[in-house]
Structure 1
Amino acid sequence: MSASRFALATLAMSLSLSAMGADSHHSGHGHGGSGGEPGEASAVSRTINIDMHDNYFEPESIDVKAGETVRFVVSNKGSLVHEFNVGTPDMHEARQVEMKMLVEHGVIQGGALNHAMMEMDMGGGHSMKQDDPNSVLLEPGDSREVVWKFTGAGDIEFACNVPGHYQAGMYGDVNVN
């Protein structure tokens, strides 16, 4: 096995283990302890537009009701790759480790994503595709939707977990009433 293939296989295993370990303590993307679950488009009560700029979101906080299903229309207005991810602070902390690996392995390249590498078969049906229901990873100028049902109160926020972005203030509060 070549060194680059070994590095990619190691990354895939690390991402899988990180996600599995995160779930065991109510963390990870879109799973237990998240204060929500993937929503059904037919149940959407309203749409919230989220603009991502280089290291901040507009709006910076949102109010939702427990049980409400929201469609987020997320647009990257910045010059760098950004993520919109709904979850708890613990989930974001775990996700930041994964995102760091994506940068280190060249998947995230400043203002671009290496789509070929994201789609690469890592074996066992695994890839580096970013397709979690509570998250979108966007290049500059891109826009996508996230439909999310807020199932209850808790410490919930939306954040960009690309290395350094959360620490620079790229997160916002979700106030569940």
Structure 2
Amino acid sequence: MKHLFIAAAFALFSTSGWADAEHTSFAFGEPAPAAKATRTVEVVLKDIAFEPSSLQVKAGETVRFVLINQGQLPHEFNLGDKAMHAEHQKQMVAMQGKLFTGGMDHSQMGHGEHGHDSGNTVLLQPGQRGELTWTFRSAAPIEFACNVPGHYQAGMVGPLTIE
């Protein structure tokens, strides 16, 4: 039953909604239009893993990530450093808590650097496909991760090396 409530809440977020939002730039890069991509990488989201488990890109490269959730749970693909993931996890837990108190306040999702409208995150329901296109600016220690509560801690995270 708890999973049903969580899935219903995630269904409220459109995976294409971030495309209309004002995006944030990060030290490691920023969102880009798919037409600017020089390479496409398919990433499969499973329960509780990514395929591939690590990624490599070049500084200055624009990569179109095609994301496929083959799992039975909602998952996200989020680009960021460890601190960004920790902050986003707090926001995801807070959002989950709203499910059991009679509603959700979307303003609490952290619109800005770590929310779902920053261009560095795509949230997918089971069976859903999505895309994220990113221009990588400079070498930085970042990860791609799922910050749905408990998923990062269970190992749904991988290194992204910017050369």
Pairwise same-fold verdict (TM > 0.5): yes
Aligned residue-pair number: 133
The structure whose Rg is larger is: 1
**Identity over aligned residues, as a percent?**
47
1:110 aligns with none
1:32 aligns with 26
1:25-174 → structure 2 map (5 Å cutoff): 30-33=24-27, 35-106=28-99, 130-174=116-160
**Contact 1:40 1:69 survives alignment (8 Å):** no
Point out 4+ residue stretches in structure 1 off by more than 3 angstroms: 29-33
- The alignment's TM-score, normalised by the length of structure 2, stands at 0.74
1:3 aligns with none
Corresponding position: 1:176 with 2:162: yes
Secondary structure at the residue paired with 1:167?
Answer: coil
**Contact 1:30 1:36 survives alignment (8 Å):** no
- In the TM superposition, residue 144 of structure 1 has moved relative to its aligned partner by 0.5
- The alignment's TM-score, normalised by the length of structure 1, stands at 0.69
1:4-40 C-alpha deviation (Å, 9 max, x unpaired)? xxxxxxxxxxxxxxxxxxxxxxxxx95433x111113
Change (3 A) 1:159 1:121: closer
Secondary structure at the residue paired with 1:84?
Answer: strand
- In the TM superposition, residue 140 of structure 1 has moved relative to its aligned partner by 0.3
- In the TM superposition, residue 102 of structure 1 has moved relative to its aligned partner by 1.6
- Show structure 1 runs of 5+ residues with no match: 1-28, 108-116
CA RMSD of aligned residues (A): 2.2
Change (3 A) 1:30 1:56: farther
Secondary structure at the residue paired with 1:102?
Answer: helix
